[in-house]
Structure 1
Amino acid sequence: MSEAFHRSATIDASRIHIEMIGNRIILKGQVRSLAEKADATKAVSAAPGITCVDNRLEVANAVSLAY
């Protein structure tokens, strides 16, 4: 699944953890922007057999501004 991130120039895969439960993907970690978060969902949902993507990624700037 992480291969999908490596093919995308807009996604920093080093900060994303992927958990697969059956046909469901859970994304956790931090991304740099809302666009990167959306791109991550799009990249994994395109994989064969995936029926659900639970995107729990946090946008780094939003996390730092909250504190």
Structure 2
Amino acid sequence: MDLTGTQRAGATPTWYEDALAWACRPVHHTTDISPLRAHAQAVGHTDGYRPHPPHRTRRHP
């Protein structure tokens, strides 16, 4: 996605970290479903982020 000059000028220096934090927050009144999840192999070091697998809460006939 390309940003306009105005959008780039208005972005904070921490825009990327802010966006990751937003994407990792639970949604729809849940405690563990978010668009992204942090992934790590060692304690205390985030290696990257992965999309949260889709969950079905109800089956439709």
What interval of TM-score do these two structures reach, taking the shorter chain for normalisation? under 0.3
Identify the structure with bigger relative contact order (alpha carbons < 8 Å, sequence gap 6+): 1
**Larger proportion of helix:** 1
TM-score (normalizing by structure 1): 0.24
Taking structure 2 as the reference length, what is the TM-score of the superposition? Answer: 0.26
